[in-house]
Amino acid sequence: MSDPKFSPSAAEVPEYRAAQRWNIVWVVPILALLVGAWMIYQKFTANGPVANVRFATAEGIAAKQTEVRCRSVRVGVVRDVKLDEDLKSVVTNLELNPDYESLLREGTRFWVVRARLSGTEVSGLGTLIAGTYIELDPGPKDGKRVDHFDGLETPPATNRDIPGRRLVLTTDQAGSLAAGSPVYYRGFEVGRVENRKLNPEGTLVTYDAFIREEYSGLVKKNTRFWNTSGIDITAGASGFKVRTPSIQAMISGGVTFGVPEGIEAGEVVADGASFRLFGNEDEAEDSTFNPTMKLVLLFDQSVRGLSKAAPVEYRGIPIGRVADISFDYQNAQNDSRIPVLIEIDPAILRRESAMGISQTDLDCLTEAVKRGLRSALKTGSLLTGALYVDLDFYKDVQPAELFKTGDYESIPTVSSGFAQLEAKLTAILDKIGALPLDDTLKKFGTVADEVAHTAADSRRTLVEIEETAASARKLIDSPEFAALPSSIKSALASVEKSVSSVGPDGAIQGDLLRTLDELRAALRAVTAMTTAIDEKPNSLLFGRDTSGNPIPKAPKLGR
Amino acid sequence: MTQGHPRAAVSGLASCHTCGKVSPVSLGNCPRCGSHLHLRKSNSIQRTVALMVAAVALYIPANVLPIMSSLELGIYTENTIVSGLLTFWKKGDYPIALVIFTASILIPLLKIVALSWLCLAANGKLHPSPSRLAKIYWFTELLGRWSMVDIFVVGILVALVQLGNYMTITPGAGALAFGGVVVLTMFAAMSFDPRLLWDQLEALEPHHSPLKTKDS
């Protein structure tokens, strides 16, 4: 290349040129290329598994910023947020770290963690500062790989992998029971209600309840669950009942469970067992009652105050309850009697023969009716006016037999108790009403008038007598009369004395005036009586003030 | 030999790379320190080109990958050089955007372009005027000092801002690549022997002073 003419050491000049052959330095760009390519490959192709999760709203979720966490460990990030095609939900595209691909399996749940404040929980306050994130709760270990999920709107109360018993409670009224409500056992919190659902038909509310592992052995086969939400005030045939749970349960609702007395607890249940959730403790207790016999009672009186589930008692022992009150059970169209369907547990009457077949029970009943067993409506509580059905033996009733009404047997009824009393009272009052009081009073009036006439007449008579006496005196004082013998004079004087006794100061007039006073007093008493009857018709029988009425208390069921 | 000033290479004299003593290259080793004697840096162009290829290779991930990721109040953001630049530009912080643009995009690019150009010139593929050659070479030397600004900033931020959840800054893969680019271009510039440029000029115009003539 260089001109040889001007290069004295021609051999030396090409020396440095000839040295420019392949050099070890080319390893550097090759390495750089490899490293660069690897970095870009990492960034764009080694992305983790992707999942689509649907939420109702994307509030607080930002693409490329909102994290996906599992137990507060960052396992991924939201890649994209899009509206769903139907514009009713949003679909978030999550990208997980490759290490956590296995978390995307069937049963995995997602929910957005935001700050939540409610009666039962204060959670996610950290998100106020650090922003919302999506929490991932991995599903069961052997779940299939899935990449489309429906996110939960509210966080589940407990993670799925926390050990414990998961139960299903069904009821027909949700009340204030909600996700997060505590589950109590003997007033001790042992679990939580996780969520609630209304079944598609809208007839049942289903709760998922969670009992912590250490208490899961408490849930037995015959365990009853009941709602302890709010304040429970019941007014029934057994009086008023007010129950208040803890303040927390009052606000957020709560579930209590226990095994009613008198029945076997049974075995410990498995996960997913389903229980009925009773409205209150009484319902739960009554649920042990097993009515096997249904009877229709025909009452010839008002059943106002008799409610469904009102007790049926035999001489104060609860043996059943009212199942229904409906004209449907009636035989004839024009029967004015009210049919009441009751269900009784004959086993309570005869514990030792609880296994006996119902035919035997029926025979017993037939026999009892022959001996005078009757049913009657009685007032359980004067305060609430609630009625109950009482079965008792009556001595002075007309003989009757068990008869059939529709599909059911019927025990003859008697009117008794308050209804009977009322009927008698009404009869008495009717009689009082029918009394000819007005006529009597009128007669009293005429009698008084007549007495007044008589008095006037006698006064006139007295005046005449006085005149006569005066003329007699004149006659006596006359000189002609003076000649009359003194014996006549004395006779006349005695006559004068007798006449003066009839005068204004005389005893006869005094008697008359007293009689008039008595009449007046009698009239006043009659007026007072009519007023009292008018104000309170039954005061004839009870007097004006009724004394306190003792309220009989019904004993508890199922003992 | 007679015209102009005699050149060391032509005279067979080489300057020792280690101690700077000028001695005949035929000696092989420096008589003073014993280092191997070369007339020019060995494989200079090839090395430079190789390092630049490496720099270009890394320049792509440096710009594509995030240079810095920040966790601010739980919000995680990743920024590449360009996205950071755009953020500042959109906010209206034009001076900062310009600084970033200059330090992180313009300078490395210019450096690579300039070095490539110099390599071509040294290899005789281009025939620029000596004055332009000199300027471009000077420019390359000048740029090299400023190309580490980005890495410097990231390094300071990462070291200082570690406040847990409230604010944390971590370097991204891009920072590594970008650092690689800067280091590689520096090495490339170092391994380039500028005397090769003047050798080319001498070769083209042996009779004249390099600053004067131009004919062919």
| Strands A67-70 vs A133-137: parallel, antiparallel or unpaired | parallel
pLDDT band at A348 (very low <50, low <70, confident <90, very high): low
Residue of A nearest to B207 (CA): A6
User: What is the nearest CA distance from B82 to chain A, expressed in angstroms?
Assistant: 16
Query: Which residues of B are less than 8 Å from A35 in CB distance?
Result: 57-58, 61, 177, 180
State the average pLDDT over residues B131-149.
76
Facing B51 at nearest CB: one of A28, A42, A129: A28
pLDDT band at B212 (very low <50, low <70, confident <90, very high): very low
Question: Distance between CA B211 and CA B203 in Å, rounded?
Answer: 14
pLDDT value at residue A230: 67
Query: Which residues of B are less than 8 Å from A19 in CB distance?
Result: 42-43
Residue of A nearest to B204 (CA): A2
Put simply, the chain A residues between 1 and 60 with a CB less than 8 A from any chain B CB are 1-3, 6-9, 12-13, 15-16, 19-20, 23, 25-26, 28-33, 35-37, 39-40, 42-43
Element (H, E) at A188: strand A188-198
Residue A404 burial by Cβ neighbours in a 10 Å radius (0-12, 13-18, 19+) = exposed
Q: Which two tokens stand for residue A548?
A: 């306190």
Could you say which DSSP state residue A365 is in?
Answer: H
Query: Which residues of B are less than 8 Å from A126 in CB distance?
Result: 74
CB of A128 less than 8 A from some CB of B:
no
Q: Which of A460, A450, A470 is nearest to A502 (CA)?
A: A460
Worst-scoring range by mean pLDDT, A67-81, A206-220, A374-388, B1-15? Answer: B1-15
**How many CA within 13 A on the CB side of residue A155?**
22
pLDDT value at residue A15: 45
Strand partners, A187: none
3-state SS, residue B69 = strand
Tens-digit pLDDT profile for residues A461-499: 999 999 998 888 887 777 776 666 777 777 778 888 777
Q: Say if residues B135 and A5 touch (Cβ distance below 8 Å).
A: no
pLDDT value at residue A519: 92
Q: Which of B51, B197, B14 is nearest to B121 (CA)?
A: B197
State the average pLDDT over residues A78-90.
85
Query: Which residues of B are less than 8 Å from A42 in CB distance?
Result: 173
Q: Where are the alpha helices (DSSP H) in chain B?
A: 44-64, 81-91, 94-100, 107-122, 130-144, 149-160, 173-191, 195-204
Q: Which two tokens stand for residue A523?
A: 């009239």
CB atoms within 10 A of CB B90: 9
pLDDT value at residue A203: 80
Question: Distance between CA A443 and CA A451 in Å, rounded?
Answer: 12
Q: Strands, DSSP E only, in A199-237?
A: 205-212, 224-227, 232-236
Residue of A nearest to B164 (CA): A130
Query: Which residues of B are less than 8 Å from A32 in CB distance?
Result: 53-55, 57-58, 180, 184
State the average pLDDT over residues A84-106.
85
Could you say which DSSP state residue A287 is in?
Answer: T
Question: Distance between CA A349 and CA A362 in Å, rounded?
Answer: 12
Pick the more confident residue, A76 or B170: A76
CB of A72 less than 8 A from some CB of B:
no
Pick the more confident residue, A160 or A30: A30
To probe the interface with A, which of B44, B70, B76, B178 has the most A CB atoms within 10 Å?
A: B76
Element (H, E) at A445: helix A437-477
Q: What angle do CA A476, A482, A487 make, to 5 degrees?
A: 85
- ipTM metric: 0.71
User: What is the nearest CA distance from B129 to chain A, expressed in angstroms?
Assistant: 19
CB of A274 less than 8 A from some CB of B:
no
pLDDT value at residue A11: 42
Structure-token match 């290479």, residue found: B9
| A105 Rama class: left (phi>0) / alpha (psi -120 to 50) / beta | beta
Quick check: A65 and B76 CB within 8 A?
yes
Tens-digit pLDDT profile for residues A495-552: 887 777 666 666 777 888 888 999 999 999 989 888 888 887 777 777 765 455 666 6
Residue of B nearest to A61 (CA): B75
Q: Which of A1, A27, A5 is nearest to A14 (CA)?
A: A1
CB of B65 less than 8 A from some CB of A:
yes
Q: What angle do CA A168, A173, A176 make, to 5 degrees?
A: 90
pLDDT value at residue A463: 92
Tens-digit pLDDT profile for residues A8-21: 444 444 444 444 56
Facing A77 at nearest CB: one of B10, B76, B184: B76
Q: How many CB pairs under 8 A join A and B?
A: 120
pLDDT reading at A127 higher than 70: no
Quick check: B54 and A33 CB within 8 A?
yes
Question: Distance between CA B91 and CA B97 in Å, rounded?
Answer: 10
pLDDT value at residue A556: 66
Question: Distance between CA A152 and CA A494 in Å, rounded?
Answer: 127
Q: Mean of the per-residue pLDDT values for chain A?
A: 77
Query: Which residues of B are less than 8 Å from A31 in CB distance?
Result: 54
Q: Strands, DSSP E only, in A11-163?
A: 50-55, 67-70, 73-83, 90-96, 109-113, 116-117, 122-123, 133-137, 148-150
pLDDT reading at A355 higher than 60: no
Quick check: A65 and B55 CB within 8 A?
no
Tens-digit pLDDT profile for residues A233-279: 777 666 777 777 677 667 767 888 888 777 777 788 888 788 888 88
CB of A130 less than 8 A from some CB of B:
yes
What is the distance between the terminal CA atoms of chain A, rounded to a whole angstrom?
A: 122
Quick check: B46 and A25 CB within 8 A?
yes
pLDDT value at residue A18: 42
Q: Which two tokens stand for residue A34?
A: 């490899």
State the average pLDDT over residues A86-113.
85
Worst-scoring range by mean pLDDT, A154-168, A213-227, B93-107, B185-199? Answer: A154-168
Query: Which residues of A are less than 8 Å from B173 in CB distance?
Result: 39, 42-43
Angle between helices B130-144 and B173-191 (to 10 degrees): 140
